[in-house]
């Protein structure tokens, strides 16, 4: 899969260019370029707004070495500072197309999250004279990324339509993919307001787009975006849906299935029939997800029941379809007796498979909503299971049926995720009566459980709560883990009401915390207690270590292999020159055994799987934050880094199950699955990474 930075040659070509452009020629040319590149990475990681680091980036953006120019301009864009737009704009006229491409990408990134109208004319002016197809594609994508109000958004849309033509014919595939990405981004930022009219007419043509200069994969992406955008504007009809579902591209089929939402409700059942008989797993997932929010009619329940029933021996029903269908069973169907019997059969403890345990666990939670007494009979077989994920779903079911005894038992479970679900259930059932349980769970070092306990104490009048919250804050802060930010802020938020000025001396040290947001929160707590202002003086911790030139070369020559229990291997090609600091951490984690025995705790069908948390939840990541290093496209199979917000990479990874362009320029990519996508498709919630290893690339 091709997922390079816009306009970038391969790594080997870049290094060759770097060496050839250094003068005078000597044996150290490549090493000196590598050292300069690492200086750029360090400067970017410092997120400078002035001073030597910023001057270094500006200097290298005018280097006689195009590799260094690309890296420096990319870094300037990642600072997301519109005041640097002038430095970036100059590179739009660079003689090297890969530099011009990066300048377009960086200019849009400089205006990320802010009004981008000032970047519109520089990009349009470059479009008027640019002849390189790859660069025109990046310009198109960058135009669409700008946050614009009408009429600027209409100008950008008009320019994108014009770019989709070349001499009266469809533009080359490189351009057309950028146009599709640009229209997609512009549609999202304008709430699809730009779609009706000329854009819709062009999209209707692009539903059937084919171009021999690009691979079928690229053609599929253009067609899928066209279908998605027409559907988002409510302009996809039954015939267009039918054509999309007959497309050879799975991404187009999935887009067509999502488009059922744009049909008139009277055609929903016909649309569902086409989707469920499309023989496309991705389309069927979208169809079932659509049914989750629809009334349980006899027609919809027929499709759902097909996924709910325990399949006969030898018949394989994808776990994804069964899980979604079972989740839908929490609402009653017209034939409730048949529904209850089928869900109960699926929830039987003897259906808990060692690898694909999810259908049985989800079935129990659904059964608790429609047949509490039968769920209660099956609950012990789940609550006592060896798999902690199964026990967590048992706690969820116990909360639904009001089984306080089981919840109290699971509140003593050794696994924090199980205790989290048990505490949530007790808090819903008992309100203030669960305060003691919540205070007890504040002794955990798991951030998700601590956050759940803090939330459960909202409005508490317990005299013990304030001290317990400060004790938890001290304990959660001992390791100076930046990724515990959310839990520590939740504790401080609760302290405003549950504590008082007698605890001031214990909170004052947090004015100098390593996390600026925690220091700000501490100042707010103290002011609320004492009625006077406090001033935070945070002392940030050191940044993550950078790789050496040798480390860069080793990463470029290696793949990371994840051995998934019961499923097979996932081979990941690394991108050290696109996301150096994040790729280096991922590489080190894999090499040092960090991932061994961990899980993919999150499964979102047709979106992502996420994992690599020591406690199998999204709040427990590796200790330090990493900076965002955005720029690559989130195509299917790319491996990204989870965040808790801007510049908060937590060391967890996710794999894109389908193309997810809405994640572009927001989340860092460290690798691409080059072998084992079929294994990725089988990973569900709780999939175990038996071990990770680093191998030489073939």
| Tens digit of each residue's pLDDT (9 = 90 or more) over 365-394 | 999 999 999 999 999 999 999 999 999 999
Burial class of residue 379 in the structure, from the number of CB atoms within 10 Å of its CB (0-12 exposed, 13-18 middle, 19+ buried): buried
**Structure-derived torsion over alpha carbons of residues 672, 254, 358, 603, reported in degrees to the nearest 10:** 40
Q: Strand 599-600's sheet: what is its strand order?
A: 599-600, 687-696, 558-564, 568-574, 669-675, 638-643, 649-656, 608-611, 602-604
Residue 184 contacts residue 176 (beta carbons within 8 Å): no
pTM of the model: 0.94
Q: What is the mean pLDDT of residues 76-89?
A: 98
Task: Report the run of H or E that residue 87 belongs to, with start and end.
Answer: helix 85-89
Rounded CA gap, 322 and 309, in Å? 8
Percent of residues, the chain, with pLDDT higher than 70: 96
Instruction: Give me the residues paired with residue 602 across strands.
Output: 610
Contacts of 327 (CB under 8 A, 6+ apart): 292, 362, 365, 366
User: 675: which strand partners?
Assistant: 571
Helix, strand and coil in the chain, % to nearest 5: 60, 10, 35
Spatial separation of the C-alpha atoms in residues 414 and 607, rounded to whole Å = 31
Give Cα 287 to chain centroid, integer Å.
22
- What span, in angstroms and rounded, lies between the C-alpha atoms of 90 and 97? 13
Higher pLDDT, 445 or 545: 445
CA distance 561 to 87: 40
User: Encoding tokens for residue 480?
Assistant: 């100076």
Task: Reduce the DSSP state of residue 652 to 3 states and report it.
Answer: strand
Strands 599-600 and 687-696: antiparallel
Give the span between the Cα atoms of 370 and 337, in whole angstroms. Answer: 10
For the cut 70, the answer to whether the pLDDT of residue 14 exceeds it is: no
| pLDDT the model gives residue 545 | 86
Q: Is the pLDDT of residue 580 over 80?
A: yes
Q: What pLDDT does residue 364 have?
A: 98
| Cα(523)–Cα(517) distance, integer angstroms | 10
Question: What pLDDT band is residue 315 in, cutting at 50, 70 and 90?
Answer: confident
Average pLDDT of the segment spanning 217-236: 94
Mean pLDDT of all residues belonging to the chain: 94
Rounded to whole angstroms, how far apart are CA atoms 550 and 572?
A: 20
Q: Are 92 and 136 in contact (CB under 8 A)?
A: no
Domains 11-202 and 549-696 share a fold: no
- Using the predicted structure, report yes or no on whether residue 4 has a pLDDT greater than 90: no
8 Å CB contact between 623 and 482: yes
3-state secondary structure of 26: coil
What tokens appear for 496 in the block? 């405003």
Q: Is the pLDDT of residue 11 over 70?
A: no
> What is the H or E stretch that residue 560 is in?
strand 558-564
By residue count, the chain amounts to 698
- Tell me if residue 348 falls in helix, strand or coil: coil
Rounded distance, CA 639 to CA 637, Å? 6
Q: How far apart are CA 550 and CA 220, in angstroms?
A: 39
Residue with tokens 């053609």: 219
Q: Is 467 exposed, middle or buried (0-12, 13-18, 19+ CB in 10 A)?
A: middle
First to last CA, the chain: 15
pLDDT digits (tens, 9 = 90+) for 547-578: 999 999 999 999 999 999 999 999 999 999 99
Q: How far apart are CA 632 and CA 105, in angstroms?
A: 10
Position 27 pLDDT exceeds 50: no
Residue 268 region by backbone torsions, left for phi larger than 0, else alpha for psi between -120 and 50, else beta = alpha
In 3D, which of 520, 491, 523, 530 has the Cα closest to residue 508?
523
For 208-228, give the DSSP string.
T---TTS-HHHHHHHHHHHHH
Tokens of 558: 């290696």
Please write the tens of the pLDDT for every residue from 522-541: 999 999 999 999 999 999 98
3-state secondary structure at position 693: strand
pLDDT of 250 higher than 70: yes
- Architecture in CATH of 549-696: Beta Barrel (2.40)
Residue 414 — φ and ψ, nearest 5°?
-70, -15
Task: Give every CB contact of residue 425 below 8 A, 6+ residues apart in sequence.
Answer: 395, 396, 398, 399, 400, 407
pLDDT at 17 over 50: no
Residue 482 and residue 627 in contact, taking contact as beta carbons nearer than 8 Å: no
Model confidence over 39-69: pLDDT tens digits?
A: 999 999 999 999 999 999 999 999 999 999 9
* pLDDT bracket for residue 214 (50, 70, 90): low
What 3-state DSSP class applies to 635? coil
Asked whether 653 and 673 are in contact (CB, 8 A), the reply is no
Secondary-structure class of domain 11-202 per CATH? mainly alpha
Are the CB atoms for 234 and 265 separated by under 8 Å? no
CB 644 within 8 A of CB 620: no
Say yes or no to pLDDT of 23 above 50.
no
Buried residues in 355-365 as b, exposed as e (16+ CB within 10 A): ebbbbbbbbbb
pLDDT of 21: 44
Contact by Cβ (8 Å): 406, 391: no
The 3-state secondary structure of 584-621 reads: HHHHHHHHCCCCCCCEECEEECCCEEEECCCCCCCCCC
Going from N- to C-terminal start, the domains of the chain cover 11-202, 411-541, 549-696
Distance CA 493, CA 458 (A): 10
> How far is Cα 50 from Cα 35, in angstroms, rounded to an integer?
22
SS3 51: coil
pLDDT of residue 218: 87
| Residues 551/596, Cβ–Cβ less than 8 Å | no
| Distance (Å, whole) CA 305 – CA 209 | 37
**The two three-digit tokens of residue 598, written as one number:** 């961990």
CA distance 217 to 55: 41
Check: CB of residue 422 under 8 Å from CB of residue 407.
yes
């Amino acid at each position: 899969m091709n997922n390079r930075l816009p306009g970038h040659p391969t790594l080997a070509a870049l290094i060759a260019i770097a060496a050839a452009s250094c003068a005078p020629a000597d044996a150290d040319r490549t090493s000196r370029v590598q050292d300069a590149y690492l200086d750029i990475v360090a400067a970017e990681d410092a997120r400078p707004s002035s001073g030597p680091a910023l001057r270094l980036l500006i200097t290298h953006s005018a280097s006689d070495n195009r590799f260094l120019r690309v890296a420096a301009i990319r870094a300037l864009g990642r600072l997301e500072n519109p005041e640097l737009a002038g430095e970036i704009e100059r590179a739009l006229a660079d003689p090297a197309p890969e530099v011009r491409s990066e300048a377009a990408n960086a200019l849009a990134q400089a205006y990320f999250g802010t009004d981008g109208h000032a970047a519109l004319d520089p990009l349009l002016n470059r479009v008027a004279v640019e002849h390189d197809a790859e660069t025109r594609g990046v310009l198109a994508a960058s135009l669409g990324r700008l946050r614009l109000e009408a009429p600027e958004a209409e100008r950008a849309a008009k320019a994108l339509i014009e770019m989709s033509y070349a001499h009266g014919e469809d533009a080359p595939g490189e351009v057309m993919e950028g146009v599709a990405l640009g229209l997609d981004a512009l549609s999202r930022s304008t709430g699809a307001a730009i779609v009706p009219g000329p854009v819709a007419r062009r999209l209707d043509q692009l539903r059937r787009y084919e171009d021999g200069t690009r691979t079928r994969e690229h053609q599929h992406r253009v067609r899928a975006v066209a279908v998605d955008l027409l559907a988002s504007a409510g302009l996809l009809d039954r015939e267009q849906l039918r054509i999309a579902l007959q497309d050879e591209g799975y991404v187009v089929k999935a887009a067509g299935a999502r488009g059922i939402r744009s049909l008139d409700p009277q055609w929903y059942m016909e649309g569902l029939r086409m989707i469920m008989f499309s023989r496309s797993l991705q389309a069927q997932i979208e169809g079932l997800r659509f049914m989750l929010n629809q009334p349980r009619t006899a027609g919809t329940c027929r499709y759902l029941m097909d996924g709910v029933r325990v399949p006969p021996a030898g018949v394989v029903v994808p776990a994804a379809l069964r899980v979604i269908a079972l989740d839908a069973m929490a609402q009653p169907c017209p034939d409730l007796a048949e529904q209850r019997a089928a869900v109960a059969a699926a929830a039987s403890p003897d259906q808990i498979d060692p690898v694909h345990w999810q259908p049985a666990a989800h079935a129990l939670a659904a059964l608790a909503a429609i047949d509490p007494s039968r769920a209660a009979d099956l609950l012990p077989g789940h609550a006592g299971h060896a798999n902690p994920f199964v026990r967590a779903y048992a706690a969820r079911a116990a909360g639904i049926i009001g089984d306080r005894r089981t919840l109290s038992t699971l509140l003593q479970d050794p696994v924090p995720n199980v205790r989290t679900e048990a505490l949530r259930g007790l808090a819903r059932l008992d309100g203030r009566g669960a305060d003691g349980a919540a205070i007890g769970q504040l002794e955990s070092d798991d951030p998700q459980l601590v956050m759940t306990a803090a939330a459960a104490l909202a409005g508490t009048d317990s005299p013990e709560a304030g001290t317990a919250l400060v004790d938890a804050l001290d304990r959660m802060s001992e390791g100076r883990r930046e990724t515990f930010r959310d839990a520590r802020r939740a504790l401080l938020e609760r302290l405003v009401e549950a504590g008082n000025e007698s605890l001031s001396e214990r909170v004052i040290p947090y004015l100098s915390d390593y996390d600026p947001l925690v220091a700000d929160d501490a100042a707010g707590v103290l002011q609320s207690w004492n009625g006077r202002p406090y001033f935070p003086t945070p002392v940030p911790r050191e940044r993550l270590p950078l790789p050496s030139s040798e480390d860069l070369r080793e990463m470029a020559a290696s793949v990371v292999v994840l051995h998934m229990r019961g499923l097979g291997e996932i081979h990941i090609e690394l991108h050290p020159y696109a996301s150096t600091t994040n790729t280096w951490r991922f590489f080190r984690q894999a090499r040092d055994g960090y991932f061994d025995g961990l899980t993919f705790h999150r499964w979102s069908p047709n979106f992502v799987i996420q994992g690599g948390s020591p406690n199998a939840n999204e709040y427990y990541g590796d200790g330090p934050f990493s900076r965002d290093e955005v720029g690559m496209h989130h195509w299917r199979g790319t491996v990204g880094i989870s965040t808790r917000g801007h510049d908060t990479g937590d060391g967890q990874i996710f794999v894109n199950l389908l193309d997810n362009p809405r994640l572009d320029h927001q989340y860092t990519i460290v690798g691409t699955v080059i072998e084992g996508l079929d294994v990725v498709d089988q990973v569900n919630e709780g999939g175990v990474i038996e071990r990770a290893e680093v191998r030489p690339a073939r």
